[in-house]
Structures are given as C-alpha cells and as structure tokens.
Amino acid sequence: MKSASRLLAGSLFAAGALATLSGCATNVNTVERAQSQATPDYVADKRVVTDNTLARTVRVNSVNQATVSGNLLKVQATLENLKNNPRTIRYKFEWIDQTGMAVSSPNETWKTLIVQGRETTTISSVAISPRAVDFILKLSE
C-alpha cells in the first residue's frame, strides 16, 4: 500500500516536471535564404543597460538605417527573444537633430510588442523631420 502511494507520488512528480519542462512552448522556427541578398547599412550603436533582466530576455541584434522619401531617416532594430516563451516589451524611438536637440513628434509613443519564444523580429520608425540625424531607441518591460 505504501509503495503504491510512493509510485503514485513519483508518477505525479514526473508528470508535473515533464509538463513544466515542455511548458506551453511557442518557439518560432525560421527558414531564410542561405546567402542574404540584402546589404543593410548597419549603425555602430552604444548601449546603456539599466534593466539586466530585460537585457537577458530581449537582445538587440543589430540596428540599420536608410533614407526614405529623399531626406528622412529610417531606423530599424532587430530584436531577439532569448527566452522560450512569449514576452511583451515596450519600445519607443526618439529623434535628435544636428544640434543635439530632441525632435518631437505627436506620434512619439511607447509601443507594445509581443515577441514569441526565440523569435527574431524587427521594429522600425521613420523620422518625420529632415532635421533628425540621430535616434535613441528605448526598451522597457
């Protein structure tokens, strides 16, 4: 009787552990061209980390830029979720002009992004003023 109880307890523990380990994984598998044809203009970036938990959860793999509509700066960041489950983060792009002044925009707002487990995705923004020459990308959990 006692051994039956132990067997039942052991089975329940194993089942629980298995459920925990497998979890509700929503990881993303991807397929892409082996030799990329794109030639991004990568930006050498400087990073300031004040939230180590966030930095360990979502990583900025790269930042690249382009000019659209003749003279407007467009910036795109590639983010990767380092965890096995979906994460919600918030981000915001801010723009800076040649003199270091912030270029405000009525649409400059924190945006919500849900990244699936191990997914790599991109976020981008277009400066609405030709005066914008620099940017700050802010990330928050």
Partner 1 sequence: MTTLRFKTLALAGVLAPVAFVFTGCASNQVRTVDSKSPQAINTSEINPQDWANAADQLVGSLLSAGPLDKAPSQPAILAVDRIINNTTQQVDTDLLIKKIRVALTQTGKVAVTNTMGLGERAVVAAEAAELDEMTTGKKAKVIAPHFTLYTKLIEQNQRINSVTQRTYTFQMSLVAVKTGLTVWEDEREIAKQSKKAVMGW
* Contact footprint for partner 1 (CB under 8 A): 68-70, 72, 74, 90, 105-111, 124-126, 128-130, 140
Q: CA nearest 102: which of 124, 128, 76, 78? A: 128
Output the smallest distance, CB 76 to partner 1, in A: 10
Name which of 18 and 114 has its Cβ closer to partner 1: 114
CB of 105 to partner 1, least distance (A): 6
Instruction: Tell me whether residue 99 or residue 107 sits nearer to partner 1 (CB atom).
Output: 107
Residue 72 Cβ vs partner 1, minimum distance, rounded to whole Å: 6
HEC string of the chain equals CHHHHHHHHHHHHHHHHHHHHHCCCCCCCCCCCCCCCCCCEECCCCCCCCCHHHHHHEEEEEEEEEEECCCEEEEEEEEEECCCCCEEEEEEEEEEECCCCEECCCCCCCEEEEECCCCEEEEEEECCCCCEEEEEEEEEC
Whichever of 29 and 99 has its CB closer to partner 1, that residue is: 99
CB of 106 to partner 1, least distance (A): 5
Cβ closer to partner 1: 75 or 81?
Answer: 75
